[in-house]
């Protein structure tokens, strides 16, 4: 069968790549065309558009890039229509993918959504659009099926792909030596993967380094779609290190972490690294978000545990003084570290066993065959 997959950022590329591998095992004849990155391409997808062209965040930032987005939407629709896939698979990236879902459904294409839009956080009215335009929704957070059930929308909870990715990770025993790191405990600095969030976050994150210089080393997790010179402008001190495409190795070696809110907070939790969660956006984007967001927490670990056990420094509260205070706690207060560890175990229990990608692929192929999309005999 022919699968058209759309992922719009690095985390989506990671999860799409694992899904691609699982689909190829479930359906050996799978022909996969995708939007994503190097990981999806390496997994066997034919890459149409790279996520670096679309990695946007914030209401105002997206409006400012509206021309780019509209051009990409037009190209995507044309490409789908020309290729005629058996199904369009949307991976996270709700702003773009919800528009594609509507168009695809209205033009007779089957639609699957993997990693549901966070409609439980804001804009619950989107649930009705999901029901209308998405044939099957595959949920990755344990509280989502109950939420969608309130709207009479049955979804498939498949487990969390972060669990898969961490489970499959294999530690590089030479990580420290290959990256010129000394024996001091590591503070992992995870500023995000989008240009806007890095520029809002990273200079604050590294500004506190002088207060920790004798006890710790700061290591920035960099993403490959930005050149080395880009990160150099944020380093401020020669003893702040930067590692590229080695986030899991960094977390596996970290003593504590400073993390931009997003998927990375859950990844950090899965590695059981004590962390401080941070977020800062443009003033207008933040004001809009405050008006529409309906959840108590912004970080995935707090949301899954339904407890505010991670400190969240948001907007004006994200400043050097507060960051020094909270980082000192997670790095040096045994009680704080132990409580985060207990909550991390609770989260792992709630997420269950690895296998989200395989479960999702199995269900996708099953549904397509039940609907008669695949005319071949089921594979053993």
Look up the CATH number of the domain holding residue 109. 3.40.50.2000
Q: Are residues 39 and 177 in the same domain?
A: no
Q: Are residues 328 and 365 in the same domain?
A: no
Q: Are residues 198 and 335 in the same domain?
A: yes
Query: Does residue 58 belong to any structural domain of this protein?
Result: yes
Q: Is the predicted pLDDT of residue 378 greater than 70, yes or no? A: no
Return the bridge partners of 4, or none.
33, 88
Instruction: Enumerate the H helices of the chain as residue ranges.
Output: 10-26, 38-42, 59-64, 66-83, 94-106, 126-133, 144-149, 161-168, 175-178, 195-207, 228-235, 247-253, 263-270, 283-292, 300-305, 320-332, 334-351, 356-370
User: What is the count of structural domains for the chain?
Assistant: 2
Cα–Cα distance measured from residue 172 to residue 195, given in angstroms and rounded to the nearest whole number: 28
How many other C-beta atoms lie within 10 A of the C-beta of residue 230?
Answer: 15
- Contact at 8 Å (CB) between 315 and 349? no
52-76: burial string, b at 16+ Cβ within 10 Å, e else: bebbbbbbbbbeeeeeebeebeeeb
Query: Does residue 377 belong to any structural domain of this protein?
Result: no
Q: Is the predicted pLDDT of residue 206 greater than 80, yes or no? A: yes
Query: Does residue 380 belong to any structural domain of this protein?
Result: no
Cα–Cα distance measured from residue 170 to residue 140, given in angstroms and rounded to the nearest whole number: 23
Q: Are residues 150 and 188 in the same domain?
A: no
Residue 258, token pair as written in the block: 């400073």
Q: What is the dihedral of CA 264, 88, 96, 288, to 10 degrees?
A: -70
pTM (predicted TM-score): 0.83
Query: What's the pLDDT score for residue 293?
Result: 57
What pLDDT digit, counting tens, does each position of 7-45 carry? 988 889 999 999 999 999 999 999 999 999 999 999 999
Q: Are residues 15 and 141 in the same domain?
A: yes
Its domain, for residue 223, covers: 168-351
Residue 80, token pair as written in the block: 């789908």
Query: Does residue 196 belong to any structural domain of this protein?
Result: yes
Q: By C-alpha distance, which of 265, 119, 242, 131 is closest to 192?
A: 265
Confidence class for position 295, pLDDT limits 50, 70, 90: low
Q: Is the predicted pLDDT of residue 377 greater than 70, yes or no? A: no
Q: Are residues 198 and 343 in the same domain?
A: yes
Query: Does residue 378 belong to any structural domain of this protein?
Result: no
Q: Is the predicted pLDDT of residue 61 greater than 60, yes or no? A: no
Query: Of 290 and 193, which is predicted with more confidence?
Result: 193
Q: Are residues 186 and 147 in the same domain?
A: no
15 alpha carbon, distance to own chain's centre: 8
Query: Does residue 11 belong to any structural domain of this protein?
Result: yes
Query: Does residue 376 belong to any structural domain of this protein?
Result: no
Query: What's the pLDDT score for residue 287?
Result: 53
Q: Are residues 130 and 154 in the same domain?
A: yes
Cα–Cα distance measured from residue 18 to residue 279, given in angstroms and rounded to the nearest whole number: 28
Q: Are residues 177 and 63 in the same domain?
A: no
Q: Are residues 189 and 331 in the same domain?
A: yes
Query: Does residue 31 belong to any structural domain of this protein?
Result: yes
């Amino acid at each position: 069968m022919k699968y058209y997959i759309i992922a719009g950022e690095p985390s989506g590329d990671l999860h799409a790549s694992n899904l691609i591998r699982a689909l190829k095992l479930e359906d050996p004849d799978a022909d996969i065309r995708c939007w994503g990155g190097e990981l999806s391409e390496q997994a066997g997808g034919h890459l149409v558009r790279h996520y670096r062209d679309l990695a946007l965040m914030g209401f105002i930032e997206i409006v400012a890039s509206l021309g780019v987005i509209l051009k990409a939407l037009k190209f995507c629709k044309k490409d789908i229509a020309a290729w005629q896939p058996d199904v369009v698979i949307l991976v996270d990236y709700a702003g773009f993918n919800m528009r594609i879902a509507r168009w695809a459904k209205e033009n007779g294409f089957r639609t699957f959504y993997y990693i549901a839009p966070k409609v439980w956080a804001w804009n619950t009215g989107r649930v009705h659009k999901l029901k209308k335009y998405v044939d099957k929704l595959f949920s990755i957070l344990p509280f989502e099926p109950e939420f969608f059930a309130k709207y009479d929308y049955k979804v498939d909870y498949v487990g969390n792909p972060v669990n898969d990715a961490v489970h499959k990770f294999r530690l590089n025993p030479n990580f420290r030596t290959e990256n010129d790191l000394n024996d001091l405990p590591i503070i992992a600095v995870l500023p995000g993967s989008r240009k806007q969030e890095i520029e809002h976050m990273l200079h604050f994150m590294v500004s506190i380094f002088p207060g920790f210089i004798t006890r710790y080393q700061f290591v920035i997790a960099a993403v490959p779609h930005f050149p080395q010179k880009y990160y150099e402008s944020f380093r401020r001190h020669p003893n702040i290190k930067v590692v590229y495409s080695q986030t899991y190795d960094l977390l596996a070696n970290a003593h504590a972490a400073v993390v931009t809110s997003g998927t990375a907070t859950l990844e950090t939790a899965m590695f059981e690294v004590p962390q401080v969660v941070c977020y800062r956006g443009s003033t207008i984007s933040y004001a809009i978000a405050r008006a529409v967001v309906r959840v108590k927490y912004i970080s995935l670990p707090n949301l899954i545990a339904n407890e505010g056990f991670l400190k969240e420094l948001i907007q004006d509260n994200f400043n050097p003084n507060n960051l020094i205070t909270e980082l000192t706690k997670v790095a040096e207060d045994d009680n704080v570290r132990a409580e985060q560890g207990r909550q991390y175990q609770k989260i792992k229990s709630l997420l269950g066993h690895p296998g989200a990608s395989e479960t999702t692929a199995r269900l996708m192929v099953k549904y397509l065959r039940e609907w008669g999309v695949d005319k071949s005999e089921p594979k053993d």
